[in-house]
Amino acid sequence: MDQRDPAGPGPGSGALVGRAGELDDIDGLLTSVAGGAGAAALLEGEAGIGRSALLAALVPGARLVAVEPVLVRVDAATVPYGPLRQLVAPRADVWPAGPEDAELAALLAAPDEPPAPRRIAELVATVALRRGAQHPWALLLDDAHLADAATLDVLTRLAHEAPLPGVLVVLTLRPVPHRREVQDLVAAWVRAGARNVELRPLSTPAVQTLVERTVGRTPGPVLRGVLATTGGNPRLVGDVLAAAATTGSLSTSDGTAELTGSDWQAELDARVRRHVAYVDASVRTLLTQASVLGTSFVVPDLAALAALDVTTCWRTLRYALAAGLVAARGDRLAFRHDVVRTALYDDLPAEQRRALHARAAWALEAAGAPSHVITGHLERAR
C-alpha cells in the first residue's frame, strides 16, 4: 500500500501548482465524509497532467480531517485482484477485524474458486461499509484504467451500493483508451453520483512557478519558449528540464535558468515519444503524418496525405482529441503540445519525411492552399 505523503500544509494542498480549484472540490468531499456522508470522484485528464500528484496531495489533507486514506497505485503488470488486496488489507490500528475479513482474505487467495467473484464483491462492500462506520476512510485508486478486470468488476459492483457512508472513493483515469470494463466502471460511478474532476493544462504563470520550484531559478527567454510548447502539461515540463539537465544544457546563473546549445533536443524528443507511447499505434502513425502539415491542420488535408477517407481519418483522430493530444480550433485541429509534434516529426526517417512533404504539397494544391504553403512543402521534399 502506497501512502507517501507529499510536503505541504493544509488539507489536500501538497506542493501542487495551479490546482487550487481541484483541491477545493475534493477537500469538500473529504469534509462531508468526515461527517459520515458517502462521496465519490473521478479524476480524469491526459497523460502527465498531474492526476497522481493530486491524489497524493489528498493524503495529508484527509488525515487532517480524521479520514484514513488508503492509496493504491496500479501498474500494468497487476495480477487478478492485486489492487483490491491492497485496498482492503487488514489495518488493525484503524479498523478492528470483523468476521468478513478472514473470509475475504481466503477468497482473494484463491479467487478462481466459484462462487468467489460474486462473494468477493459482496464482502468488499460489507468491509467498506463497516470500516466507514468505525472510522471514515478514503479509497484512493490511482490509474484505475490499468487495473485487472476482476478488480474493476468488484469496483463497478461497489458503485451499485453507493453512497457508502463514511467512505470517499476517488479513482484516477486517463480519458482514452478504455477497455469495456473501464467504461462500465465509469458509467456505474457516474450513475452513482460521482463528481467528475477534469484536470486541465497549467497556465503560463503556473508553469513558471513549477519551474522555479523545481530548479530554484526563473526560466530565461529560450527556456520559456520551449516550455510554451508543452501546452501546460506538468510531465512535459519535467521532460524539458530533465532533458536539459541530462545533457548538461541547463545553465543557472544570476537567478536564471537557461537552455544552452542543442544537445537537449534529441533527448527531449525521446522522452516525449515515450510519453505518448500509450496511444494506439494507428493514432501515433496518423499524428506523425499530421506533424508534416504543421502545428494545425484540417481533417480532409490529413486524410489526403494519409491516403484515408475522411470518415476513417476522423474516427482515428477522435482518440487523439479525447487523449488531449490535439484540440479543435474552429474548423481545424491543432497539436495541443507542439513539443509532441516536434518529437513525432523528428522521428521520421529523412526519406519518408521528404515523401510526406511531397504528398502534402500535392494534397494542399488540390485543396487550393496558398502557393507559399505549397512551396514550403516542395522545398522540404528535396
Q: What is the DSSP letter of 178?
A: -
- Looking at residue 175, its pLDDT comes to 87
One domain, residues 77 and 224: no
Rounded Cα gap, residues 35 and 37, in angstroms: 6
- The confidence score (pLDDT) of residue 3 equals 33
pLDDT at 178: 80
Is the same domain home to 181 and 240? Answer: no
Does some domain include residue 13? no
Same domain, 368 and 270: no
Predicted local distance difference test score (pLDDT) of residue 98: 86
Residue 270 within any structural domain of the chain: yes
Residue 225 lies in a domain: yes
Supply the pLDDT for residue 201: 95
User: Could you check whether the bond before residue 163 is cis, i.e. omega within 30 degrees of 0?
Assistant: yes
Domain-located, residue 10: no
Domain boundary among 246, 275, 304: 275
In-domain check, residue 162: yes
Do 153 and 127 share a structural domain?
yes
315: domain CATH number? 1.10.10
CATH number for position 131: 3.40.50.300
Query: Does 3 reside within a domain?
Result: no
Please indicate, yes or no, if residue 6 is contained in any of the structural domains.
no
**311 and 183 within one domain:** no
pLDDT value of residue 6: 29
pLDDT in single tens digits along all 382 residues of the chain: 333 322 222 333 235 899 999 999 999 999 999 999 999 999 999 999 999 999 999 999 999 999 999 999 998 777 889 999 999 988 889 999 888 998 998 888 876 666 678 889 999 999 999 999 999 999 999 999 999 999 999 999 999 999 999 999 999 999 887 899 999 999 999 999 999 999 999 999 999 999 999 999 999 999 999 999 999 999 999 999 999 999 999 999 889 999 999 999 999 999 999 999 999 999 999 999 999 999 999 999 999 999 999 999 999 999 999 999 999 999 999 999 999 999 999 999 999 999 999 999 999 999 999 999 999 999 999 9
Of 165, 198, 231, the residue that ends a domain is: 198
Same domain, 179 and 62: yes
Of 221, 244, 275, the domain-final residue: 275
Name the burial class of residue 338, with classes exposed (0-12), middle (13-18) and buried (19+) by CB atoms within 10 angstroms of its CB. middle
**Helix extents (H) in the chain:** 20-34, 51-64, 82-87, 99-109, 116-134, 149-159, 180-191, 204-215, 221-227, 234-246, 264-275, 281-293, 299-306, 310-322, 338-346, 350-366, 371-380
Name the phi and psi angles at 126, rounded to 5. Answer: -65, -45
Examine the domain organization and report whether 45 and 155 are in the same domain: yes
Other beta carbons within 10 Å of 305: 23
Residue 15 lies in a domain: no
Do 44 and 96 lie in a common domain? yes
Residue recorded with cell 485482484 = 81
pLDDT, residue 123, reads 94
340 and 307 in one domain? yes
Identify whether residues 327 and 251 lie together within a single domain: no
Sequence-ordered list of residues with C-beta below 8 angstroms from that of 220, at least 6 positions apart, any chain = 256, 257, 258, 259
Which pTM does this prediction carry?
0.87
Name the residue range of residue 234's domain.
Answer: 204-275
Q: Are 290 and 264 in a shared domain?
A: no
Q: How far apart are CA 235 and CA 6, in angstroms?
A: 17
Looking at the chain, how many residues does it have? 382
Q: How many domains does the chain have?
A: 3
Quickly tell me which residue has 516542395 as its cell: 378
Greatest alpha-carbon pair distance for the chain in Å reads 77
Q: Same domain for 83 and 185?
A: yes
